[in-house]
Every structure is written in C-alpha cells, then in structure tokens.
Structure 1
Amino acid sequence: MGSLKGLSSHLASLNKQIKFATAQAITSTVRQIEQAQKAALRDTLDNPTSFTVNAVGSVGARKDNLKGRVFVRDIAAGYLEPFEIGGVHKLNSSALLNPKDIKLNKNGNLSRNKLSQLKAKPDVFIGDIGGTNGVWQRKKAKKGKKNKKRQKRSANGTRRVREKTRAPKLLIQFGDALTVKPTLDYMDRANSMAASLLPTELSKAIDQALSTAN
C-alpha cells in the first residue's frame, strides 16, 4: 500500500512538473513571436514610431492557465489593420494629411499637435486654392523700391494696378484615405511560428522537468 501511495504522489508531482513545463514552453513561444512581430513592423513599415512597434505585446501561460497570446494594443491595431487585411488608411481626422513644405518629426511624420499649432498662426489659413484643399501659409511681400514709395498715377490720372501678392505656400494637403496593400502577414507569421516553435520548446521544457523530478 505504501508503494501505491508513493507512486500516486510521484505521479501527482510529475503532473505538476509537466504543467509547469508546458506553461514555460508556451510562454517562450509567445515571447519569440512578439519579438518577431516587432521586427516585422520595423522592416515592413516606413520608419514606424516606437509607439507603433511597442504596441505589440504578449501574455505568457501559467500552470493553472495553459494559454498564451500575442496581441496589438487597440489604438495601433486600428490603424495597422489595413496593412494586414487590406482596405484604406485609418484617418485621425476627416481627411488624409499629406505633408508638403513643412518640417516633420524624427519619424518622418507630422507631430500630434502640429495642425493645431499651425491654425493658431496669423499667417496660416485653411482653404482651397486652385482646386487644392489644405493648410496654406501666406508669404511676405517682396521688399523693393516700389513697395516703399506710394505708386505714381498714370498719365490719365488713374492709379496704377498694384503688384500681385506672392502665392501662398502649401504646408499640408488634404486628401482622401489611400488604399493600403496588405504587407504585414501578422497572422500567418504568428501561426507558422507557433507551429514550428512550440513542439521544440515543449520537448526541452519537459526534458528539463523530468530531469528535475528524478
């Protein structure tokens, strides 16, 4: 009877070791997938922000919950979705902001508050010029002799037509959301990596658990 109790205790201990090993294997797998997805974002997207790359995260498994997952946080998932399944760019406003003659941040994008900052400037306005709708900046008139003196009247007494002001500079053009070609392969990468990595990680973890149990 004593040997049966010992065997039962040994099997119970072994079962705990196997569950722990399985949790370790799952966790190791999802961590590797997480890093691969972050690397894919850097390689696929044009100079993505750290916010976008770090939106990818993972949750490891526990011996009482043998599930792990890799995810993309909600905000980034919203604008990354077209790069996975196709569609059009997700816009933060009613129009696509296409920077033209304006300084961008280190990631090559408009800063979050740039449009509000521009609207506050007295020489900047939003409007449609020649069929192009966007944010424009008025240019200062060229300085010259004719601008410093009052213009003379013509021979018949009428005042000469003033020189035209300089055309404003287009800072940001408004446009419609553009179609996105799916390039991320996020789901395919995750599934193929899980199928490839998990058996190997599970084998290593169980071998280690068994050697510890002995």
Structure 2
Amino acid sequence: MAGIKELSAALQSLKKQIPFATAQALTSVAKQIAAAEKTAFQRKLENPTPFTVNSVGSVGARRDNLTAKVYVRDIAAGYLEPFEFGGVHKLNGNALLNPKNIKLNKYGNIPRNKIAQIKATGKAFFGKVDGRSGLWQRHKYKKVKRRAKRSANGTRRERVKQPPLVLRMQFGDALPVKPTLGYMDRAIKMSTILMPAALNKALAEALKTAK
C-alpha cells in the first residue's frame, strides 16, 4: 500500500504545481506573441518609429491569476487602429498635415518643433493662397530702389519681382487606410498553436520538481 500512498502524495504535489506550470506556459506564449507583433509592425508599417514598434508589450500570468496579456500602449493604439480595422488616418488636429519643402526625419515624419521653428522666423503664416490652405513662408524681401521717373518716350525701369510664397505644410482631409496589420488574427493563431507545447513543457518541468 506504500506505493499507493506515494502515488497519492505525488499527485497532490503535482496538483499544486499545475497552476504554476499553467502560468509559466501562458507567460511564455504571451512573450512570443509580443515579439512576433513587433516584427509584424516593422514589416507591415512603412518605416515605423521605435516608439511605435516598442508600444507592444505583454503581462505575464500568475498562479493566482491565470491570464496573460499582449497589448499596445494607448497612444500608439489610437493611431494604429485604422491599420487593424480600417477607416481613415487618426489626426492629431483638425486636418492632415502634408509636409511640403520640409526635410523629414529618417522615419518620414516631421521633426519635432519644426513647425514652431518655421513660425518663429516671423516670415510664416497660416492661411489660404491660390486655393491651398496651410503654412506658408515668405522669402527674404528684396529691397527695391525708388523707381525711375518715366522717360521721354514713356518707359520706366521694370518693377522688381518678389520671390513667391513657399508652401511648407498643406492641410488636408484624413486619408483612408487599408487594414494591413492582422494583429488580432496573428495573436489568436499563435496562441492556439503554441499553447499546447508550452503547457506540456511546463508540466514536464513541474513533474521533475514535484515533491
């Protein structure tokens, strides 16, 4: 009967280990999914910033809370939503900012404080010119000498032409976005495929350490 008692004790020990093993399996799968989602962001988004890629995170499970999470932080989730579900670009303001004659950073975005720098020159203004609304900038004004008096034959010196305004930022409507991320489908498929093997591995480790 000693064998039955030993088996019963081993089973009781294993029973205590199951929640811990399950939490380990869930945490492992969540980390793998988060890593895969970051890779997908890099592949499916056009030149994403580190902020966007690293917005993906995961929370592990515990033996008293057998739930693991993979998430996207709030700020990034807001502007990434159309890339998952469709719709139009999320705007920071009332209009889409379409940069013109502005050198973008390596991620294709407007450098921080660039608009403020342009406005600080004192030669820029927001307005509508020739039917286009946006941020316009004047070139340095050319000083004009006093025009010569009209000659005997009725001619005078030509008026000096001032440089045209430069459109630095055009305002437009939010553009439609084609869903490309597949974030949720990827997470569901990976959890279905990975969880059985991860749970078996965690349980096998639990059996080795069961007392």
TM-score (norm 1): 0.88
- Per-residue CA deviation, residues 18-70 of structure 1 (Å, 9 max, x unaligned), is 21111111101000000000111111111111111111110011111111010
Contiguous gaps of at least 5 residues in structure 2: none
Q: Distance in 2 between matches of 1:94 and 1:9?
A: 67
Q: Could you tell me which residue of structure 2 aligns to residue 50 of structure 1?
A: 50
Q: Could you tell me which residue of structure 1 aligns to residue 85 of structure 2?
A: 85
**Residue 17 to residue 127, structure 1, CA distance change in 2 (3 Å):** same
Secondary structure class of the residue paired with 1:33 = helix
Contiguous gaps of at least 5 residues in structure 1: none
Q: Distance in 2 between matches of 1:154 and 1:197?
A: 89
Q: Distance in 2 between matches of 1:112 and 1:96?
A: 16
Is 1:187 paired with 2:210? Answer: no
Q: Distance in 1 between matches of 2:196 and 2:110?
A: 45
Q: Could you tell me which residue of structure 2 aligns to residue 75 of structure 1?
A: 75
CA shift, 1:4, in A, is 7.6
TM-score (norm 2): 0.90
- Aligned positions, number: 210
The code of the aligned residue for 1:151 comes to R
Q: Which stretch of the first structure deviates more once superposed, 185-194 or 43-52?
A: 43-52
Q: Could you tell me which residue of structure 2 aligns to residue 155 of structure 1?
A: 151
CA shift, 1:114, in A, is 2.4
CA shift, 1:98, in A, is 0.7
The code of the aligned residue for 2:159 comes to R
Q: Which stretch of the first structure deviates more once superposed, 155-164 or 78-87?
A: 155-164
- Identity across aligned pairs (percent)? 60
Root mean square deviation of aligned Cα: 2.4
Is 1:210 paired with 2:207? Answer: yes
The code of the aligned residue for 2:45 comes to L
Q: Could you tell me which residue of structure 1 aligns to residue 193 of structure 2?
A: 196
